[in-house]
């Protein structure tokens, strides 16, 4: 039980999807950005925190956030994809699970992922003997090709018709 004398103050961290959805349109007024940045820096200074200028970047056309590239055009895959594309073929269940977890991170960019990765997923189940043959290698390669495709998810625009 929480101490009833304590004041409850909660400011939850926003979900990445909620933040990315707010970026829709990407054409906010630069003056608004400057004002928001000024307020943020003021709050940091009030708490005794400082920003190192050499670690700050301003006026960029994109930003990398939680493994995603956010820009005016939409949301794209970040640099983490390169590491996944360089992964060698799996030799056991733990290495296959690591690969599957990596592609799962980018599931929103991979249409029909559950169908395409089903053959590999089957190998991670209990009581399924490890057998990496031509079919598994092809499925592995196909998943890497899907991941390397250059898909960008557009920001939702409520002014446009949707189907």
Question: Over its length of 163 residues, how does the chain's per-residue pLDDT go in tens digits?
Answer: 667 776 666 666 666 666 666 666 555 566 777 787 788 888 888 878 887 878 887 778 887 877 777 777 777 777 778 888 888 999 999 999 999 998 888 888 788 888 889 999 999 999 999 999 999 999 999 998 888 877 656 666 677 787 6
* pTM score: 0.60
All residues at 6 or more sequence positions from 132 whose CB lies less than 8 Å from its CB, including other chains: 89, 90, 91, 123
The sign of the dihedral angle between the CA atoms of 101, 107, 111, 115 is: positive
**What was the pLDDT predicted at 131?**
93
**What was the pLDDT predicted at 132?**
95
């Amino acid at each position: 039980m929480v101490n009833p004398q304590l004041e409850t103050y909660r400011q939850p961290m926003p979900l990445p999807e909620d933040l990315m959805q707010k970026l829709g349109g990407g054409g906010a007024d630069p003056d608004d950005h400057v004002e928001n940045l000024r307020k943020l820096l003021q709050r940091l200074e009030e708490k005794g925190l400082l920003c190192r200028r050499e670690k700050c970047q301003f006026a960029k056309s994109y930003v990398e956030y939680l493994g995603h590239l956010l820009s005016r055009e939409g949301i794209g895959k970040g640099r983490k994809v390169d590491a996944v594309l360089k992964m060698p073929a799996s030799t056991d269940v733990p290495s296959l699970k690591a690969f599957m977890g990596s592609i799962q991170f980018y599931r929103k960019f991979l249409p029909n992922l559950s169908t395409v990765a089903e053959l590999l997923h089957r190998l991670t189940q209990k009581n399924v003997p490890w057998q990496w043959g031509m079919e598994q290698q092809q499925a592995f390669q196909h998943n890497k090709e899907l991941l390397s495709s250059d898909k960008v998810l557009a920001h939702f625009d409520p002014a446009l018709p949707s189907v």
